[in-house]
Chain A
Amino acid sequence: MNAKGPPRWAEFLLERALPARDREVVTGDLREEYAEFLRPQFGALRAGLWYLRQVSSLAGRSVGEGGTMGRLLLLSSAVTAMCGAWLVLMELLLRHPGFAARVVVALLIVAAGLATLLARLLHFGVLFERGLWVAAAGLIALGVVSFLRNARAAHFEGFVFIIAIVLVLQGALMLATLGRQGNQNRKIANASL
């Protein structure tokens, strides 16, 4: 990259946020605008801020991909990641017997939520493709086990009930949408060979 180009990390983020078809063309257009017009005219700071605004506007396109199921997957992934983080925090604060194992499970829930968000928003689906089926099955199994154990427990926990349902939902949506995204990525890769 030449020294007058946009910040390397911002360009990397943009590349990841774009579908394969647009990657080269759009990053090229924005780099040209940055280097030939904005930076000489307004300086590195304002040109950098403009570039970041364009990255966020283009990353927003990923939210709409996959239709209603895609958006539901984003929502459920964000919920599971936040719930997992909350569980980690509470377990570490309360330190009931056996908390270490529960922290590990909660961290796995956070990781599953964040990984799915990355796969959807930044088109990392191909990287996760091999582990997709295992991860989705794991989420569904964890959700079902949590649901059943909670239903049989002496004290019913509404929070666990919600997480269990969202985990099953996320797993099912992952199978439905990321699998399809992987097929599309393969088609694009084959077409460009």
Chain B
Amino acid sequence: MSDLVGPFEQAVLLAILRLGEDAYGRAILHQAQESLGRGVAAGALYTTLDRLEQRGLVRSKLAPGTAARGGRARRYYFVAAEGNRALADARATLARMWRGIKLPATVKS
């Protein structure tokens, strides 16, 4: 089983999967904000992307920039095989944790 990924890392990985070939920094930021339902600081996103890449969960490649970016390059991200496994593990772990639980839960004293 690969190392578990945290909730924010899962949101970023899932955003990359949803965006497919259009997954670059700004698009991932929007997608992650939408799925989490809150604002996301750019610092948090890029730190997470760097960490995921170092762990081999995502890969990236540079592409030419547009005029709106002042010609600066875009970095596109892809979920690697290890990233897919980590997401599957995270989902399976959550499913095991929630098995048999119904909300609102009652606590017996």
Partner-B contacts on A (CB < 8 A): 1-2, 5, 22, 24-33, 35-36, 53-54, 56-61
7 more contacts with CB within 8 A, not counting A25-B72, A29-B26, are: A28-B74, A29-B29, A32-B68, A54-B42, A56-B43, A57-B43, A59-B43
Partner-A contacts on B (CB < 8 A): 24-26, 29, 41-44, 46-47, 50, 62, 65-66, 68-70, 72-75
CB distance from A191 to the nearest CB of B (A): 13
Which A residue's beta carbon lies closest to that of B67? A2
B68 CB contact (under 8 Å) in A31, A53, A58, A59: A31
**By DSSP majority rule, is chain A's interface helix, strand, loop, or mixed?**
helix
Q: Contact at A28–B70, with CB atoms within 8 Å?
A: yes
List, in ascending order, chain A residues with CB within 8 A of B43's CB: 54, 56-61
Q: Contact at B66–A32, with CB atoms within 8 Å?
A: yes
List, in ascending order, chain B residues with CB within 8 A of A32's CB: 26, 66, 68-69
CB distance from B95 to the nearest CB of A (A): 33
CB distance from B30 to the nearest CB of A (A): 8
CB distance from B49 to the nearest CB of A (A): 9
List, in ascending order, chain A residues with CB within 8 A of B66's CB: 32
Q: Contact at B70–A57, with CB atoms within 8 Å?
A: no
With A54-B42, A57-B43 in contact, do A29 and B25 touch (Cβ < 8 Å)? yes
CB distance from A67 to the nearest CB of B (A): 14
Q: Report Cα–Cα, A27/B25, bound state, in Å.
A: 10
Q: Contact at A5–B70, with CB atoms within 8 Å?
A: yes
Q: Contact at A28–B65, with CB atoms within 8 Å?
A: yes
CB distance from A20 to the nearest CB of B (A): 13
Which A residue's beta carbon lies closest to that of B60? A25
